[in-house]
Chains A and B, each alone.
Chain A
Amino acid sequence: MRNTPLSLKAAALLAVLGLSLTACGGNSASTAESSEPAASAEAGAPVEGGTFTFAEVTPINNWQTQAARFYEKANVLNSVLDRLTYFDTESGKLVGWIASEFTANKAQTEFTFTIRDGVTFSDGTALDAEAVKKNLDALGLGVESAQIQPNVDFSAYKSSEVVGANQVKVTLKRPDANFLRSTSSVTAGLVSPGTLELDNAGQTAISQIVGSGPFVFESEKPDEEVVFTSRDDYAWAPETAANQGDAYLEKLVVKYLPEVAHRAGAAQSGQVDLVRGLQPVDEEVLSAGGGQIFAAQGVDLTTNHAAIRIGSGKLAETKVRQALQVGIDRQALKDTVLSDSYVLAGSILNHQAPGFVDLSAELGYDPEKSKALLEEAGWSVGADGIREKDGKKLEITVASSNNSVVIKPAFELIEQQWREIGVQLVNRAADNSFLTNAMVDDQIEFFGTRQFAYGGLGPVYAPATNNQTLNADKELNELFTREQAATTEEEHLELIGEEQRALVLDKALTLVLWDEVQVYGANKDAHIDFTSGTAPIFQGAWKSNG
């Protein structure tokens, strides 16, 4: 025991030393860099050549196209696989890519794609109408021999046929006004017919996936890095892309930075050119240090929300769910947990999504209204301040993955806010092992998430197995069916609006939080844009220092 003071002193000394080292280091770096503002790099024409290093948050082993519903896959596959169409964020319109033209019949059951001439996969195979048909079949029907399930956005797919020399006609089982838009998704990326012949392990291995995109696989070190080379003869970028030729960059290196604390430093020090998954606190550090912050808006995604499952019975009544909706002080979320890169949700769709309706006026923080609604539903305050009904406490649980860097603190704040209205939130956000069970357990009241949604919300909320509500709502499903069968764009957008009102207000099956955004940190010399699905466009990227 007599030794304790010394060991304490030593521990304290080391801790102080470590902290002060980090602190001075941070300061010195920021002063050194701030003399060279990021804006100075903006001017000038793109520089050719160079290797661009991009750090993703976690290694990926399944690169199969349909499975690319996760950022870490889509962000890379976006530069390896081309699609039939492209969603141009600026104009909010779908434009041609591998399909130079595309048309739909009035009933939204038949679609014709005219395939661009002269496109080849990197193995030399032609990307012609026949190859597109094979891809569409794989997407719509799955590949049974390789245990690949159909793409969820292609659930209406029936068949396709090659018509004429370079056209493919798709026939659907039922109308789907969202079909065209979903062909722009990375999950509808086109692969060489040879890739579709491989077994499951083959189709999921990045080394064996052959696309027609601007970058081609070169080498990989499992779980550490994947290297891609620019394809020199690439000449079929989306119609609206600034760069119509091959990538300016020579090589693209994808690495992994699972440790969130290193991400800002990695971009600032130039060890990577771009990194995804920056925490709000690091945004300031990085921009002060001369780095750049890019907030890529998730136009193709729902907002971040807590989807509601009513299995436990506590949230079975609409009034209770509506009480929770207005029991969230969203502005406080932005002020305390989020940053300027985040836009508060006005609906389940983000502000730039076609058909978005702004419901924010009805999402204002109103704890008094919450309390009144809860009282009306028969939940009265118990001795400990938590509401009760029939001997059950209003104690509800949220589960989520740790993919979003802000989701856990966000629910911590909501937990505090709800205590005011007598609701106890059990915060299991960002707990992946808990989520394993919670994902398919309708007793867990909330699933905090965001999902790709290419138009209507049917694919996300309709099936009985949908992982949002784990429940098929008859009225909602009728609405989804009507929306998918809309024959004019005007009618389609109107019905998408109705879906949002039903989900957010009338049924309150989702508590909407903030528009989906992926915050990237970049080195001062990096120049890059992002797709409507928040994926970096490496084909148009370049570095001031080559």
Chain B
Amino acid sequence: MGGYIAQRIGQALLVILLAYTAVFLAVQALPNDPVTIFLSADSSADPATIAQMKAYYGYDQPLIVQYFTQLGALLTGDLGYSLSSGSAVSTRIGEVIGSTLLLAGSAFALALVLAVALTAAASLSRRPRVRNALLNLPPLMISIPVFWLGLVLLQVLAVQLGVMSLFPDGSFLSLAVPILVLAIHLSAPIAQVLIKSVHEVNTQPFVDVLRAKGASEEWIFYRHTLKNAAPAALSIAGITIGTLLAGSVITETVFARAGLGQLVLQAVTVQDIPLVQGLVLLTAAAFTAVNLLVDLIHPKLDPRIITSHAGSPRALAA
């Protein structure tokens, strides 16, 4: 177990280092340095000022020096300076990350609840028509674009009915609606995998044994099937962090919320490369961290993950 954890953490750190390197190289591939690009957005920039600003931010250093200086700073949590606001990238991120964490975290939690509820309802329903309808919900949910649902809800609730604000004003609806919009989209793939996985588990002999022993369908579902089906859904949930971040960009724009998504959009718009760089790194780190977490929870749910390395009889029994 210890070796497994160390290996996963090592891999995660390596992924982040590679992400940093890739982002660094991508920035070098741009036709100009970040300062020149940023200042060019604003009519004709003075070459002397560009040179002075480049020196100030260290962009006049040799590449290899820049690479290790930035990497060293990164280790201390310093992501450099946002050119568009003059403040540290970490400060800009710090200002809005709470808003995104609240939105994305709540949406993720709600998505899990929705996925499990949908799976339970679909698996336990005894009426085929209801069951079929429920089984068809996830494909529908994933095909509704986040922005469309957000726009329609705002148009109806905020503009036509006037029951909520178009802006985040701290009211219940102004937080609940974006969370719901994001969660619906997010829960679909998790529900889809969970339903399929539950279905597969149900075909296994042990379920018949449980049924033969007189266990109720509910008991079997909650105590046995769900637990056995969870690992697959967990993996998907880990991957949906990407969807979550992409969804945040759209949700935050539609609902005029501050947040990382909105910040990405701005950083790209005003060509603030250091800020983009910091945000990409943060995203990579978040992605890696969540998947590391999934990898660490996995063996708790399914010990065969670890023992299968050794090709043990328990692994084969699956």
Contact = CB atoms under 8 A, between A and B. Distances in A.
B132 interface: yes
B283 interface: no
Given A29-B160, A62-B86, A258 B265 contact: yes
B136 A433 contact: no
A118 interface: no
A152 B44 contact: yes
Contacts of B43: 69, 152, 451-452, 459-460, 466-467
Given A223-B95, A465-B44, A142 B49 contact: yes
Contacts of B87: 61, 201, 204-205
B214 interface: no
Interface in A200-230: 200-205, 221-225
A225 B39 CA distance: 26
A516 to B, nearest CB: 15
A435 B268 CA distance: 10
Contacts of A255: 167, 256
Contacts of B40: 439-440, 465, 467
A70 B271 CA distance: 14
Interface string B124-158: 00000000110111011001100010011011101
Interface in B149-185: 151-152, 154-156, 158-160, 162, 165-168
A11 interface: yes
Interface stretch (B30-38, B204-212, B306-314): B30-38
A436 B37 contact: yes
A200 B143 CA distance: 46
B132 A3 contact: yes
B140 A10 contact: yes
A483 to B, nearest CB: 17
A256 interface: yes
**Residue from B56, B86, B151 having most chain A Cβ neighbours under 10 A:** B86
Interface stretch (A18-26, A119-127, A131-139): A18-26
Contacts of A10: 133, 136-137, 140
B45 A269 contact: no
Given A25-B160, A150-B46, A200-B86, A18 B31 contact: no
Interface in A77-103: none
Given A61-B266, A440-B36, A440-B37, A224 B86 contact: no
B262 A222 contact: no
B95 A222 contact: yes
A61 B256 contact: no
A415 interface: no
Contact of B165 (A204, A223, A271, A466): A271
A58 B258 CA distance: 11
Contact of A58 (B44, B151, B152, B269): B269
Interface string A25-51: 110110000000000000000000000
B266 A59 contact: yes
B84 interface: yes
A225 B167 CA distance: 9
B216 interface: no
B203 interface: no
B25 interface: no
Interface stretch (A174-182, A189-197, A259-267, A337-345): A259-267
B155 to A, nearest CB: 5
Contacts of A21: 152, 155-156, 160
A149 B49 contact: yes
B115 interface: no
Interface string A335-361: 000000000000000000000000000
A261 B151 contact: yes
A432 B144 contact: no
A205 B86 CA distance: 9
A221 B258 contact: yes
B7 interface: no
B43 to A, nearest CB: 5
Nearest to A401: B269
A409 interface: no
Nearest to A460: B43
B70 interface: no
Nearest to A152: B43
Contacts of B84: 61-62
Contact of A144 (B32, B52, B152, B256): B52
Interface of B: 30-32, 36-37, 39-47, 49, 52-53, 56, 82, 84-88, 92, 95-96, 132-133, 135-137, 139-140, 143-144, 148, 151-152, 154-156, 158-160, 162, 165-168, 253-254, 256-259, 262-263, 265-266, 268-271
Given A6-B136, A224-B258, 10 more contacts: A61-B85, A61-B92, A69-B42, A149-B49, A223-B96, A257-B256, A258-B256, A262-B254, A440-B37, A465-B40
Q: Nearest 9 CB-CB pairs, A to B?
A: A223-B258, A25-B160, A265-B159, A61-B85, A200-B86, A149-B49, A7-B136, A201-B86, A222-B95
26 contacts: A3-B135, A3-B136, A21-B155, A59-B258, A59-B262, A62-B85, A142-B49, A147-B56, A150-B46, A152-B43, A155-B46, A204-B87, A205-B86, A205-B87, A222-B96, A223-B96, A223-B258, A223-B262, A224-B258, A257-B166, A259-B151, A265-B155, A452-B43, A462-B44, A465-B47, A466-B44
